[in-house]
Amino acid sequence: MDNAALRAEAMRIFKIGVAAADPAGAVHRALMTEPVTGRPVVIALGKAAGAMMEEALRHVDAKAALVVTNAENAREMSGVAIMIGEHPVPGDGSVAAGAALLELIGDLTEGEQVLALISGGGSALAIAPVDGISAADKRVVNSVLLRSGLDINQMNLVRQCLSHLKGGGLLAATKANVRALILSDVIGDDLRVVASGPTACRVGNHADARAVLQGVGAWSAMPVSVKVFLEKDRDEPIVRPAKNQIVGSNRVSLDAMASASDWAVIVDDALVGDVSEAANKVIAAMQAVKGDCTLLFGGETTVKLKGDGLGGRNQELALRVAQGAQDLTGDWVFLSGGTDGRDGPTDAAGGLVDAGTVARVLDSGRSVKQILAHNDSFHGLQAAGDLLTIGGTGTNVADVQIFVRRS
């Protein structure tokens, strides 16, 4: 099988994983299994909000409906209010969206219903900062967190402590009964972490948040208002229960990908942590298997930014694998991509590399080592012709990786 065919095979499997995370299908299955009675207020928050709302409205007679999503995935819907937030760093739209969400459900009474459709990206798309912390402060916090190397659980711990919406804030804002259908973009499907857990309890308290920030040297970069607020110890708020249901996840996509190829084996469904360590794990798995194979991974790695380049965790993982697997025998390709079609602050979903990637980078006049030192994987993969660009998918169940080798 030639290189073009290997790349096509990796792309075929990747697209099957994305399709398995289809938001409409997930909502359809959930509401067919357990229909909604009455006239709920329907809110949808996240990158998949539009598709989830469209499907929900085929099953329910909504009293009111509000979608909060990013500009790329926004769509007009009759009778539905649409608000655009910013991602990955919240902006003015995110502030307005957070206020609108809380206002919509705030006047509901006991016995009324909220159907919440939650997907990845919601943490930045709608924000409601606690008193004393401005939206500008929250933007600084998010920028620092994204550069810190913290995992998604740790970042959401901090975000929840600074929000009226996250960490069960949506529940605290209404007296209505809340049912949430959740498309999980986090490994392990921790309900406290998806979109920072608006219908779940918090990850931890202020002392936990301080310890996490101090542990990675990010405390000094926090705005003064944030430090002052987090230095005051507070107990975690008591959150009344919601009916939370996971309707799609990374593992569901991996299972679909595995079923799509007779060769496929899921090696690791929790590829997390530092991107360089994750690359070493992937390379070790690639080297351990001889002959024809398709190896699958799923997870969400972290990158501690040291340079001023452009890229994302999937692009850097792909480039690190290309660098570390140069001596691997046979024809092979490796794909690492975000199921939402976006990786970091770029228009690429990740990278699709092969045994010739490093040489093509060198031909462009740069070295992979230099590129990685500056966290500039986007331009490195661009020079090699190895960017994975598919556009926004309207869903998000974290990242998947595919290694394909054929004789």
Average pLDDT of span 46-59: 96
Beginning with the edge strand found earlier in the chain, give each strand of the sheet holding 293-302 in spatial order: 264-274, 293-302, 399-406, 331-338, 350-354, 387-388
Residue 88 has pLDDT above 90, yes or no: no
pLDDT-based confidence at residue 95 (cuts at 50, 70, 90): very high
The CATH number of the domain covering residues in 3-17+251-406: 3.40.1480.10
Residue 369 has pLDDT above 90, yes or no: yes
Report which DSSP code applies to 119: E
pLDDT-based confidence at residue 82 (cuts at 50, 70, 90): very high
How high is the mean pLDDT of the chain?
94
pLDDT-based confidence at residue 118 (cuts at 50, 70, 90): very high
Give the rounded percent of residues in the chain with a pLDDT score beyond 90: 85
On whether the CB atoms of residues 209 and 157 are closer than 8 A, the answer is yes
User: Could you confirm whether domain 22-248 is CATH 3.40.228.10?
Assistant: no
Tens digits of residue pLDDT in 33-44: 999 999 999 999
Average pLDDT of span 140-160: 90
Average pLDDT of span 370-386: 97
pLDDT-based confidence at residue 407 (cuts at 50, 70, 90): confident
Cα–Cα distance measured from residue 252 to residue 319, given in angstroms and rounded to the nearest whole number = 26
pLDDT-based confidence at residue 55 (cuts at 50, 70, 90): very high
Residue environment code for 229-247, b if the CB has 16+ CB neighbours within 10 A, otherwise e = bbeeeeebeebeebebebb
Q: Write down the domain spans for the chain.
A: 3-17+251-406, 22-248
pLDDT value of residue 126? 96
pLDDT value of residue 186? 87
Cα–Cα distance measured from residue 9 to residue 12, given in angstroms and rounded to the nearest whole number = 5
Average pLDDT of span 57-76: 95
- Would you say the CATH fold of 22-248 matches that of 3-17+251-406? no
pLDDT value of residue 283? 97
In the chain, what is the greatest distance between 2 CA atoms, to the nearest angstrom? 67
Helix (H) or strand (E) holding 180: strand 177-183
Tokens of 213: 């920030």
pLDDT-based confidence at residue 151 (cuts at 50, 70, 90): confident
Residue 324 has pLDDT above 80, yes or no: yes
Tens digits of residue pLDDT in 166-198: 999 999 999 999 999 999 988 889 999 899 999
Residue 119 has pLDDT above 80, yes or no: yes
pLDDT value of residue 392? 87
On whether the CB atoms of residues 254 and 400 are closer than 8 A, the answer is yes
On whether the CB atoms of residues 388 and 341 are closer than 8 A, the answer is no
Tens digits of residue pLDDT in 230-289: 999 877 777 788 999 999 999 999 999 999 999 999 999 999 999 999 999 999 999 999
pLDDT value of residue 339? 94
Residue 101 has pLDDT above 80, yes or no: yes
> Considering the entire predicted model, what is its pTM?
0.80
Give the rounded percent of residues in the chain with a pLDDT score beyond 70: 100
Tens digits of residue pLDDT in 3-30: 999 999 999 999 999 999 999 999 999 9
Residue with tokens 């999937």: 314
pLDDT-based confidence at residue 220 (cuts at 50, 70, 90): very high
pLDDT value of residue 105? 97
